[in-house]
Amino acid sequence: MIDIHSTQEFLDALMQAGERLVIVEFYGTWCGSCRALFPKLCRTAQEHPDILFLKINFDENKPMCKRLNVRVLPYFHFYRGADGQLECFSCSLAKFQKIKEAIATHNTARCSIGPPAGIGDLNLLENSNPQEKPAEASPR
């Protein structure tokens, strides 16, 4: 898990993540639920090395947290590349299944199938008949 200390660090981490799933935990050192959840969250991060886990201390980053509508702790944001923010919610240790479900939903493999097979090989002008006339609009 990467500890984020400023808005700029947060934005840089999101940009550098590319299309990877990013899970951001907003926490407080004084928050009992945050402390209880942390070991399980660390295990989850180890189980999913393809996911970027960030943590942001609410007290150190209050202006940013307020702009991101973080009002209760622990709070989670899920981001992914061009899709931006996918989901956000509060979650305690008792409801950790919610995080697992969000990971299952958002950490899916992505692929690009590219253009349909053969389209790149076609030259539509190559076999055109020079005597063909362009279609004209029919009179009404």
Radius of gyration of the chain (CA): 24
Catalytic residue among 31, 42, 65, 88: 31
Tell which residue, 98, 89, 117, 112, has the closest CA to residue 25: 89
The 3-state DSSP class for residue 73 equals coil
Tell which residue, 116, 110, 95, has the closest CA to residue 50: 110
Catalytic annotation on 31?
yes
Catalytic annotation on 88?
no
Q: Which residues are catalytic?
A: 31, 34
